[in-house]
Amino acid sequence: MVKPANAPGQTQATSTPGTLAAGDPDSEVLRQAVAWLQQGREVVLVTVLQIWGSAPRPAGSLLAVTRDGAVSGSVSGGCMEEELQRRIAEPGFPGRRPARLAYGGESSRRLRGLPCGGRVELLLEELRDIQHLQTILRTVEGRGTLVRRIRLADGTASLHPAAARTPSLRLEQGEVEKLFGPVWRLLIIGAVDTARYLARIALTLGYEVIVSEPRPERASGWRLPGARLDPRMPDDAVRALADDPRSAVVTLTHDPRLDDMALMVALDSQAFYVGALGSHRTSAGRRERLATLEVSEAGLQRLHAPVGLPIGSHTPPEIAVAIAAEMTARRHGVSLAGRGNPAER
């Protein structure tokens, strides 16, 4: 078993030691499973292995179920959980060897129908090793990434460092590999009106939200539970908090002295999304300034500016929706042809 180390540039600035940032569904399921195991309860972990057609949850989704029927997480829109609770309550199921169950489809009697019309294959395994799960949680909390490998023949589980571009779930040659990474993080530059709406949406989407605001007069008015302030200058905040592939950076101050500082660092970071608020003219001027500050052409190509999808947004909440939608598309690798400015703002 390999205990993964944090990737270069990653920090543990997310939360107080011993706690997990809210919003990461995998961590919430594992944390609850650990609590149940510590209580002496029997716990089965259910993982979505494969999906065909319309399915309520993507591959890699997790559900923990105790023998007495407690549930954490989800592998469906609610149509499979009750059936799984019934199966897991059966003595000796699934046993030491993981079990594979399929739901949906019409080609086999053993497959039960799903309302959405799709087909889902699940892996069920009994959890026993608390320390194994705690290692995953500590790594994720420290913004590290690892792969949990399950050998289907006997249920042996091991942990391994994640390579670049590791898929969220891989199934082949009698093994299942599930990627565990840190909670998605959004670093917003500027405690402005649009930041409040964007932070609320991002929290709903499961992001950890941090607002970089070095201006005391702005920081003093920030009151949004769940989204914490960071008083450092934007470039320092980006270096410390957003240099990994699960982070996004959005600048909203309209002050080049702050926004450009953040962008100079963010465009050379591992952040999966970097955006800047402004009109087409403002964005063109920003690109010219950044080029003179030795930001590479490749870095400038990464910049989403004007930020957000072109949905005709004008008000701060509408602009926040446009930004969140574009972030979501980028996060899932969806190509958006013909993107542009939601509004001249």
Q: Hey, how many other C-beta atoms are within 10 angstroms of the C-beta on 222?
A: 16
Alpha carbons within 13 A on the beta-carbon side of 9: 17
pLDDT of residue 117: 58
Better-predicted residue by pLDDT, 339 or 200: 200
* In a shared domain, residues 210 and 288: yes
Q: Tell me what percent of the chain is helix, strand and coil, each rounded to the nearest 5.
A: 30, 25, 45
CATH number of residue 316's parent domain: 3.40.50.720
The pLDDT value given to residue 220: 94
pLDDT of residue 146: 94
Q: Is residue 2 one of the residues assigned to a domain?
A: no
Residue 76 domain boundaries: 25-180
Give tens-digit pLDDT for 178-231.
999 988 999 999 999 999 999 999 999 989 999 999 999 999 999 999 999 999
CB of 276 closer than 8 Å to CB of 305: yes
Integer Cα distance of 79 and 115 in angstroms:
8
End-to-end C-alpha distance for the chain, whole angstroms: 53
Asked if residue 19 is part of any domain, the answer here is no
Domain co-membership, 40 together with 140: yes
Q: Cα–Cα distance between 184 and 199 in angstroms, integer?
A: 13
Residue 344 pLDDT exceeds 60: no
Q: Has residue 307 got a pLDDT over 50?
A: yes
Same domain, 127 and 236: no
- In this prediction, residue 105 carries a pLDDT of 61
User: Tens digit of pLDDT for each residue in 40-94?
Assistant: 999 999 999 998 876 667 889 999 999 999 999 988 766 688 889 999 999 888 8
Determine, yes or no, domain membership for 7: no
Give the whole-number percent of the chain exceeding pLDDT 70.
Answer: 85
Q: Are strands 227-230 and 208-212 parallel, antiparallel or unpaired?
A: parallel
> Per mean pLDDT, which of 2-16, 46-60, 145-159 is the most reliable?
145-159
Q: How confident is the model at residue 114, as a pLDDT? A: 54
Residue 345 predicted with pLDDT over 90: no
**pLDDT at 339 > cutoff 70:** no
Q: Are residues 198 and 51 in the same domain?
A: no
Helices (H), 21-129: 25-38, 81-88
Tokens 């980028």 found at: 330
My answer on whether 219 and 315 are in the same domain is: yes
- pLDDT band at residue 118, thresholds of 50, 70 and 90? confident
* Continuous H helices in the chain: 25-38, 81-88, 130-141, 193-204, 216-219, 234-241, 256-266, 280-292, 297-302, 316-331
In the chain, the amino acid numbered 18 is G
**Same-domain check for residues 267 and 172:** no
Domain C-terminal end among 144, 161, 180: 180
59 phi, psi to nearest 5 deg: -60, 140
DSSP secondary-structure letter at 117? S
In Å, how far are 10, 210, 237 from 203, measured between CA atoms?
21, 10, 19
- The pLDDT of residue 54 is 64
Q: Rounded to an integer, what distance in angstroms lies between the CA atom of residue 164 and that of residue 150?
A: 20
Structure tokens at 126: 């009994």
| pLDDT higher at 268 or 110 | 268
Cβ neighbors of 180 (< 8 A, separation 6 or more) are 26, 27, 136, 139, 140, 145, 146, 147, 148
4-13, 65-74, 116-125, range with greatest mean pLDDT = 65-74
Number of domains in the chain: 2
Q: What is the pLDDT of residues 251-291, one digit of tens each?
A: 999 999 999 999 999 999 999 999 999 999 999 999 999 99
CB 267 within 8 A of CB 274: yes
Instruction: Assess contact for 74 and 61: CB atoms under 8 A.
Output: yes
Q: For residue 10, is it within any domain?
A: no
Asked if 280 and 344 count as a contact pair (C-beta separation under 8 A), the reply is yes
31 shares its domain with 169: yes
Q: Is residue 133 part of a domain?
A: yes
The three-state secondary structure class of 50 is strand
pLDDT value for 23: 60
* Per-residue confidence (pLDDT) for residue 340, from 0 to 100: 47
